[in-house]
Amino acid sequence: MSQWEFLSNFFLYLVVTIPIMAVGIFVFQLTTPYNEFALIREGADADDPRKSAAAKAAAHDLGGKIIGLAIVLASAVYHAVSLWDLALWGLVGVVFQVGVFYLFEWLTPFRVISEIPKGNVSVGLFASRLSIATGLLLAALISY
């Protein structure tokens, strides 16, 4: 394969993965009744410790979902036999991240969707790590 073929493959796979990341972020925001980016932006108000904590919790939660999806996409890029295969596994990654969020919401004795806006950073951190673990597991399953 020539350098131009490698470069064209790079751009083709990039053109597929970036929109999947954008769709994932959009879908992740639909799963919560609050706007993560608004909470993060409002966290710049250093005079209100609750807003600052809510921003941290939201950033951890959303950031973990994004990292988890990126891990899935990285594995899909590596193992994909076609662009359609990559797109399929990327969308499966989005669905599983959302599914794990709802499972987490259902199984815990607290409501994630109410704890994060209240500034419970521990819940945001735990949700983040759960999303990253989900991404790692799904990435391994893709390679099997």
Residues of the chain with pLDDT under 50: none
Residue 29, classified by CB atoms within 10 Å of its CB into exposed (0-12), middle (13-18) or buried (19+), is middle
The pTM (predicted TM-score) of the whole model is: 0.90
Q: What is the pLDDT of residues 17-49, one digit of tens each?
A: 999 999 999 999 999 999 999 999 998 877 889
- State the first-to-last Cα distance of the chain, in angstroms, to the nearest integer: 26
- CA 25, 28, 30, 36 torsion: positive or negative? negative
